[in-house]
Chains A and B, each alone.
Chain A
Amino acid sequence: MTRGEVVPFLRGDGAYRKIPTSDFAGEDAPTDTWQVLRAVYDAAEETAEAEKALSDGIKTLLEGTAGDVYLAILYLTRLSLAEQGNRLPLKLPLRELLSAAREKAAKYREEFFGELVFPNGFVKKAAMEDIKGWNEAVFLPCCGLDILQNGK
């Protein structure tokens, strides 16, 4: 993050890829997003820039490919759950980021039904199933926000 490589770090490009340490972790993503966020939380204890770097990184992902947008939504899901459980040690503009994510989710709706290939080679199939699930299980109940804009 200090090298200004937030997006590759968030996306798990090359050597930045975080591997879940347990076979039973259950996350199905191009990088272990929990390890990434924990690293950001640790960095935030050292420098005030980490918070803004994460926020800017997610904004940049939201301007990227369908895969980047999927990953941004995954991070926002995790961050929303942490906020809901009073476990989020950062102050992030989550509403603003979620609104931007809603726009991009609509833009890439078709791509989310196909295969998303990430720079580190990870292939995500049927991303829309995840996004629909997160919408119902997380965004609607905790934020009152329909990231799929009522299925439009």
Chain B
Amino acid sequence: MNGSGNKAKRTKKWLNAAGVWLLITALLLLFGAGNPAFAEKADSTPSAVARETAPHDWKWLGKAPLTAEQVQEILATPKGERPDPSAYLDKKYIRRHLKEFRSGVSFVMGLDNYVMFVVARKFIGREDNSCFVMPKTVCDDIAKAADGSLAVYEQALGFEPGYFRGHGGLVRIDVLDVDDLHIRIPSGNEAGANAWWLPGGYTSGGVPEAVSDLIPKSRILVTRLQGE
């Protein structure tokens, strides 16, 4: 009885895994195929560090407690009509996820974008009062692994190879005081949620992400990295 029960459990587990991989294939066909940047990354042989955080390799799977069907349904919902994450993620998961952001948030951008979309403004973020951020601790880990290499940041955070060099360098922005920034799990309705967005609070490369309100520029710490 126990043996057949275990076998049934194993079969169910296998079927679930097969379902997830079918979804991955479908998503790859939808978003990956035909995208030269994706093909470039898929063919590259990144370093061990970069491999751990390579973009668009679906490391988010298993990090957020969502079934393949839930992910499919949320992605199929038009942007603007997607449900609030509290509708499909339990409170404990949301609390635990957002805890990572309490000690500070970070994001990185190309130097040109920094000049164009930060220097020139009083607040950082988009017109719908949103700004995608990662926990500062995660950015610290990437910085440590990168040791000055722009390519590692590109791999880790889903930027195209050569992105930061093409922008004249990388700018890291840290915000330590986040208490009133309403840090939340992205719903996918945000102006900055692009075709790569996935539900559950992780980028497709497995980096934890959240959304904050517009960030006052007076509150940011800026670090510039020119690269090797």
Task: List chain A positions with a Cβ less than 8 A from chain B.
Answer: 19-28, 34-35, 38, 74, 77-78, 81-82, 85, 87, 125-126, 129-130, 132-134, 136-138
Q: Once the chains bind, are B119 and A34 in contact (CB under 8 Å)?
A: no
Question: What is the distance, in angstroms, from A85's C-beta to the closest C-beta of chain B?
Answer: 4
Closest to A24 in B: B107
Stretch at the interface among B86-94, B143-151, B162-170: B162-170
B177: interface (CB < 8 Å): no
- A20 contacts across to B, CB distance below 8 A: 194
B37: interface (CB < 8 Å): yes
B117: interface (CB < 8 Å): yes
Q: Which of B47-73 contact A (CB under 8 A)?
A: 55-56
Q: Once the chains bind, are B196 and A138 in contact (CB under 8 Å)?
A: no
Closest to B186 in A: A23
Q: Which of A21, A23, A34, A132 contacts B120 (CB 8 A)?
A: A132
Q: Once the chains bind, are B195 and A22 in contact (CB under 8 Å)?
A: no
Question: What is the distance, in angstroms, from A75's C-beta to the closest C-beta of chain B?
Answer: 11
> 23 A-B Cβ contacts within 8 A?
A19-B196, A20-B194, A21-B55, A21-B158, A21-B196, A22-B158, A23-B192, A24-B159, A25-B109, A34-B112, A34-B163, A34-B166, A78-B116, A87-B166, A126-B127, A129-B120, A132-B120, A133-B116, A133-B119, A133-B120, A134-B120, A136-B120, A137-B115
Q: How far is the CA of A132 from the CA of B110 in the complex (A)?
A: 20
- Chain B 111-130, CB within 8 Å of chain A: the 1/0 string? 01111111111000011000
* Residue total for B at the interface (Cβ-Cβ under 8 A): 39
Q: How far is the CA of A24 from the CA of B109 in the complex (A)?
A: 7
- B168 contacts across to A, CB distance below 8 A: 81-82, 85, 87
Q: Once the chains bind, are A134 and B110 in contact (CB under 8 Å)?
A: no
- A137 contacts across to B, CB distance below 8 A: 115-116, 119-120
Question: What is the distance, in angstroms, from A81's C-beta to the closest C-beta of chain B?
Answer: 5
Q: Once the chains bind, are B121 and A24 in contact (CB under 8 Å)?
A: no
Q: Once the chains bind, are A77 and B108 in contact (CB under 8 Å)?
A: no
Q: Once the chains bind, are A78 and B112 in contact (CB under 8 Å)?
A: yes
- B209 contacts across to A, CB distance below 8 A: 23
Looking at B56, B110, B113, which has the most chain A CB atoms within 10 Å of its CB? B113
Q: How far is the CA of A126 from the CA of B121 in the complex (A)?
A: 12
Q: Once the chains bind, are A38 and B166 in contact (CB under 8 Å)?
A: yes
- B134 contacts across to A, CB distance below 8 A: 24
Closest to B211 in A: A23
Looking at A25, A129, A134, which has the most chain B CB atoms within 10 Å of its CB? A25
The 10 A-B pairs of least Cβ separation, nearest first, read: A133-B120, A22-B158, A26-B109, A23-B132, A85-B168, A24-B107, A26-B113, A19-B195, A137-B119, A22-B159
- B121 contacts across to A, CB distance below 8 A: 129, 133
Question: What is the distance, in angstroms, from B211's C-beta to the closest C-beta of chain A?
Answer: 9
- B166 contacts across to A, CB distance below 8 A: 34, 38, 87
Question: What is the distance, in angstroms, from A78's C-beta to the closest C-beta of chain B?
Answer: 6
Q: Once the chains bind, are B118 and A26 in contact (CB under 8 Å)?
A: yes
